[in-house]
Structure 1
């Protein structure tokens, strides 16, 4: 399998990359990033700003895609910039890779993704729906709760939420408990390797 990883420098993407490079069924990993990754014999690491997409690049020709792109409105600077990273870019790359032969796609989304007034969750629902409409042979969507990871730069709101969640974990329903990047990465990777036909949603409580 030739696998494309989007967001390979993030908390979840870093774990996906590590697991993918060690997996015997994956012979090549393509991880386009804005900054260089450590070299590896199985890794192709195009350096790109992503906007605009280099649609003619050969590295988009893969068997499967894992998307772990994600930011926050605060880090992005605006709702528009956030939507570009979390919705527009994943959709554009999904369309491109599907047109070039990719058959499996796995997306890291969010607990509670649905259409509504919450801009964040509505955006997550929009990207889920958009990719589902492309009709990949296999689509896996993972919806984690708070991600228990050290961020650079730190996300203050997430850190506060994690502290409270850890303190009160025995009282919190499993769906809302923090999950590790490794647990999410394993589900994403398993999704494209197993390539179960159709559309599979993995909720946060299933990541344990």
Structure 2
């Protein structure tokens, strides 16, 4: 792994299932000298870290955090609605697209070089599916910001240890992993990924030294564990 020294990370969305795994991992890296978590509530880490800070912000108002993002070279965004079907389309857009894009704009203006986004497999700005279309539009906007490096993580079903959203997720968590034998070749990107593997791969990717636009899918997550 080609490693670049002294990572300073600003993080939006660290309280979710994936985000919490990412945060734990990046705080373990000696190369990460500063981590700032922004969100709607304070984050307490189990082991106090001198390089860690958590700030309460309004995710819908960049003015509440713009001045905090100074001197960071890496941004991670895992912000998103847990159950899109439980909110209105406007609410979904406000969180999963608008808030993320506003965060990215501030990061770009403040000199962040590497932006990492937790997205989804099969997103497409021309999709008939509202969720996939909105996510695709977001990625197109992020590309236009022209970060030195833009990493788009595109998992399919995220397999978590606990059922967070009721019966439908319980069934999905039980049966989705059994589909791996069917999901071969180009369909491998649709395999379910354990949240620990996904979160650790996002964290590990901050230490790799690349440039440009990269889309990361199932096999990339596994490779980043090595």
Distance 1:152 1:45, change over 3 A: farther
CA distance in 1, matches of 2:215, 2:57: 30
CA distance in 1, matches of 2:61, 2:206: 27
* 1:22-171 superposed matches below 5 A: 22-39=28-45, 40-41=48-49, 42-55=51-64, 57-61=66-70, 62-71=72-81, 72-75=83-86, 77-115=87-125, 116-150=127-161, 153-154=164-165, 156-171=167-182
- Structure 1: gaps spanning 5 or more residues: none
Q: Secondary structure at the match of 2:60?
A: coil
Which residue of 2 is the match for residue 176 of structure 1? 190
Do the aligned partners of 1:138 and 1:195 also contact (CA within 8 Å) in 2? no
Distance 1:81 1:195, change over 3 A: farther
Out of 199, 203, 206, the position equivalent to 2:217 is 203
Do the aligned partners of 1:7 and 1:13 also contact (CA within 8 Å) in 2? yes
Give the deviation of 1:189 after TM superposition.
2.4
Q: Secondary structure at the match of 2:14?
A: coil
Q: Does 1:186 align with 2:192?
A: no
TM-score for the superposition, normalised by structure 2: 0.84
Structure 1 runs (4+) deviating above 6 angstroms are: none
Once the two structures are overlaid, the 10-residue window that deviates more, 51-60 or 11-20, is 51-60
Out of 5, 10, 17, the position equivalent to 1:11 is 17
CA distance in 2, matches of 1:26, 1:172: 36
Aligned length: 207
Do the aligned partners of 1:142 and 1:202 also contact (CA within 8 Å) in 2? yes
CA distance in 2, matches of 1:156, 1:130: 35
Once the two structures are overlaid, the 10-residue window that deviates more, 131-140 or 146-155, is 146-155
CA RMSD of aligned residues (A): 1.9
Q: Secondary structure at the match of 1:46?
A: strand
